[in-house]
Structure 1
Amino acid sequence: MPAPRSEPSPLRGPLLAGLGAACAFIVLAGALSVFAGGEPAPAGAAADIAARPDPVILAEAEPEVDAPAAPFDDGPVEDVTLPGVADTEAALTAPPAPERPAAPRAPLPGLYEDGPGGPLPVIGADGQRPDAAYARAHSQRTGPVVALIVGGLGMSERLTLEAIETLPPEVTLSFAPYARDLQGWIDRARAAGHEVLIELPMEPFDYPNNDPGPHTLLAEAGAAENERRLTWLLSRAAGYTGVINYQGARLGASQAPLARVLARLEARGLTVFHDGAGRRPVIEAAGREAGARLVLADRVIDSDPGRDAVEQRLLELEALALQNGAALGSGFAYPVTVEAARAWAEGLSRRGYVLAPASHVAKLRHAQTRET
């Protein structure tokens, strides 16, 4: 007796039709690949592609703590880590810049000499200073002037690109001297219209537990040793209009050694910016002793890195500019700082203020000093 026939499943037809369509697609794709001169794709290629993860986005790595270095032992540059920044090869190399109007190529002829790491800035035979040659041109609009320096750049690709590409070109950018391809980053920032500073690591009170990195300028180092360190730092790249401190509370409290450093910077035609943290009277006295073009910031805008606090410091800069004619702020390239500064700058002109590069505030204050 023949076995009873089972009823066909209601899903069997659609499944067979779908399987047939998939087979036809694979055969057709293989044929097209061969026709185009390539090899047929493996049978599991579509599934493999679908299973691949999304592209990895570089994350900010937690910094490693280096062991304290022996006195005056600078160590290899590649080993340096700084607080709050990534330290990976991908994050330290500047990506290719998009096509933009080029800034004058640095170094400019007659404004450099050979140094241990590259070109060292010098005052030209005709008296031209690097700080003037590399400064961003500023319009002569009238109104209270506000300038902003955003620093800590070059050590994180994501943060550096965000600062270069989203902040107005009038915002001055400062770069850590330890960044790999530092010249590439500076070239990219200048191509986007920003003027640039180099950060000088200076000794804090808790050094070496808090180590700003190799070639830190020290209060107890001799003049020749600090000169050697300064020469290395300044020769890391070209095209910057001046320098700004990175930390440095202890050196900033030591007038004589600080004055010697400032005198060397003045001799090379560089403006010295300082974030203003620390003993301002000592820093100002060292600047006068050295005859340096020294400019102290009026506010560190992200000493409290909360969004509300940063916005409050930016408003204080406006009040100081209204009161004194000009004001200068400094900050670090935290995401909150960059975003708050970008949003704040958008409405400045409507409120009657003029956003200017830091070099313009330096020029105004230098002129006031000469008049008094």
Structure 2
Amino acid sequence: MPSASARERLNRAILAKPQVIVGAAGLCVVGAAALFIALTGDPRAAMPSAGARLEADKPTAELASGEDVFGYAGMDLYQTLDNEGLDAEGAGGFGDALITLPEGASVSATGSFTAPVRQPDPLPAAPMAGLHQPGPEGPLPRIAADGRVPAQAYARPFRANGKPTVSLVVGGLGLNAVTTRAAIERLPADVTLSFVPYAEGLQRWVDMARSYGHEVLIELPMEPTGYPNNDPGPYTLLASSSAEDVSVKLDWLLSRAVGFYGVSNYLGDRFATSDTATSALMGQLRQRGLAFVDDGSLQGRPGAFARASADRIVDEEQSPAAILRQLHALEIQAKTDGAAFGSGFSYPVTIEVASRWVAGLEQRGLQLAPASAMTRRRSA
């Protein structure tokens, strides 16, 4: 769940169709170079040269899996790891780097390294009996007659072992098939996944996430600063919304899928300033037995059946070194306070760095916990 500024940049990049812009720019550059050489001759003609034949990869007949296409070999398309934030011996470049973690632990990243696909560790299939009721747009979560609530029934079971705990939510899932699959398959089951309600085939993604053991949140688009120029979609919860408006939009958002234990925010710094709108939202979530987990934008707003706010967003700066610094800060906070909670977005670099960071947590004296464990701890 990135900050408003990071989300706005992402939305602009998507809407601008960068592949078209890059292709056009490339044609312009090639055309200009050809014209220059035609008029003046090749300026490198008298210089020694060497060449190599490059061949494009053959297209595949179907969508490749996260394991096939989401490795470090392609990380230079997104980020390059430099020495910033690493020890003096850390090598620059993601192709061959030694990332030093706290207290002497380290993880080697070679050019052929990819975070492994994990074995499924399924949670019970959804829907569960008694936890839903018909709504105007589809099934809506509810508290069962026997007192069971979605916030508990759909959460991942967790047993504390006495070590400080760290939790991580990765959001923005469902819009990009490759990154969504990578997050589901590669991140440990104790990492909570948050899905965009507008995603096509949302129920299939939720079912797949639960089949790998991930508990699931559904993101609620909320009014950000700059709205409507920065527009999270047609069902955005507005700061000016009445309780009835919130209820109508929430019915649609909550009926997109079944099997989620709570909801999270998508943007919403302006929505958070409205007492009327936030109180209406929290009241609805409390009546339906749902948890509310936010990225820190709505910290201090009580309500819902259970509550938790992230202590920090780990990927506002989208470089491996910067993300590692934020994750390390979570470790320090957990060892000081007993628990710490981070939020991130489904950037490729976030998924890759987080998948390796969690591997050594136990050896560093920490326990990874699902976000629902934090909501129980901080329920309000």
Q: Common fold, TM-score beyond 0.5?
A: yes
The alignment status of 1:301 with 2:314, answered yes or no, reads yes
Equivalent residue for 1:129?
A: 149
Structure 2 CA distance for aligned equivalents of residues 317 and 267 of structure 1: 32
Alignment partners' CA distance in 2, 1:334 and 1:102: 25
Distance 1:146 1:210, change over 3 A: same
Query: 2-side partners of 1:183 and 1:160: how far apart?
Result: 13
1:56 is displaced (CA, Å) by 6.9
Question: Of 308, 313, 316, which aligns to 2:326?
Answer: 313
Distance in 2, matches of 1:54 and 1:201, equals: 36
Shift of 1:58: 6.7
| C-alpha distance in 2 between matches for 1:331 and 1:57 | 29
Q: Please list the CA deviations of residues 6-55 of structure 1 after superposition, one character each: whole Å capped at 9, or x if unmatched.
A: xxxxxxxxxxxxxxxxxxxxxxxxxxxxxxxxxxxxxxxxxxxxx99532
1:325 to 338, 345, 350: 338
Structure 2 gap ranges (5+): 1-55, 65-77, 79-117
Q: How far does residue 104 in structure 1 lie from its aligned partner after superposition?
A: 1.8
Which AA in structure 1 matches 2:325?
A: Q
CA RMSD between the two structures: 2.3
2:59 aligned partner = 54
Aligned mates of 2:353, 2:58 — CA distance in 1: 33
Aligned residues: 273
CA distance in 2: counterparts of 1:124 and 1:327, whole angstroms: 31
The answer to whether the Cα contact below 8 Å between 1:107 and 1:119 also exists between their aligned partners in 2 is no
1:215 equivalent to 2:220? Answer no
State the structure with bigger RCO (CA 8 A, min sep 6), 1 or 2.
2
CA distance in 1, matches of 2:125, 2:339: 30
1:28 match: none
| CA–CA distance in structure 1, aligned partners of residues 164 and 62 of structure 2 | 41
Structure 2 CA distance for aligned equivalents of residues 310 and 209 of structure 1: 29
2:130 match: 110
Alpha-carbon spacing, 1:166–1:132, altered in 2? closer, same or farther (3 Å): same
**1:247 counterpart residue number:** 267
Partner of 2:270, secondary structure, is helix
Q: Does 1:335 align with 2:348?
A: yes
> Counterpart of 1:249 in 2: which secondary structure?
coil
1:234 counterpart = 2:289: no
Deviation at 1:116, TM superposition (A): 3.0
CA displacement at 1:365 relative to structure 2: 1.9
Distance (whole Å) between structure 2 residues aligned to residue 163 and residue 52 of structure 1:
25
Partner Cα separation in structure 2 for residue 268 and residue 182 of structure 1 = 21
Shift of 1:115: 1.9
Equivalent in 360, 370, 374 of residue 347 of structure 1:
360
Q: Aligned residue for 1:94?
A: none
Compute the displacement of 1:182 (Å).
0.5
| Matching residue's letter, 1:218 | L
Q: Deviations over 1:110-163 (max 9, x none)?
A: 110012332110001111111100011113312000000001000000000110
Partner of 2:226: 206
Is the CA contact 2:290–2:304 (under 8 Å) kept in the aligned structure 1?
no
3-state DSSP class of the match of 1:309? helix
Aligned residue type for 2:184: I
Q: How does 1:65-144 map to 2 (within 5 A)?
A: 100=120, 102-144=122-164
Contact kept in structure 1, 2:217 and 2:261, CA below 8 Å: yes
Larger Cα-atom Rg: 1
CA distance in structure 2 between the aligned counterparts of 1:117 and 1:190, rounded to whole angstroms: 23
Alpha-carbon separation, structure 2, partners of 1:365 and 1:188: 28
Name the counterpart of 2:282.
262
Residues 1:170 and 2:170 are matched in the alignment: no
Deviation at 1:165, TM superposition (A): 0.5
State how far apart, in whole Å, the 1-side matches of 2:128 and 2:318 are: 38
Q: Which moved more, 1:215-224 or 1:153-162?
A: 215-224
1:152 aligns with 2:157: no
2 CA distance for matches of 1:111 and 1:276? 28
TM-score normalised by length of structure 1: 0.70
Query: Any idea what the Cα deviations from partners look like across 1:191-220, whole Å, max 9, x if unmatched?
Result: 001000000000002111000012110111
| In structure 1, C-alpha distance between the alignment counterparts of 2:61 and 2:227, rounded to whole Å | 37
- Gaps of at least 5 residues in structure 1 are 1-50, 60-83, 85-97
Question: How far is 1:255 from its partner?
Answer: 2.1
Between the aligned partners of 1:276 and 1:203, the Cα distance in structure 2 is 15
Q: What is the identity, as a one-letter code, of the residue corresponding to 1:54? A: P
What amino acid sits opposite 1:259 in the alignment? S
Q: Name the CA distance, whole Å, in 1 between partners of 2:292 and 2:304.
A: 11
Q: Which residue identity lines up with residue 296 of structure 1 in the other structure?
A: S
Offset of 1:221 from its aligned partner?
1.9
Taking structure 1 as reference, are residues 101 and 165 closer, same or farther at Cα in structure 2, changes over 3 Å only? closer
Aligned equivalents of 1:321 and 1:263: distance in 2? Answer: 31
1:193 and 1:131 map into 2 onto residues whose CA distance is 16
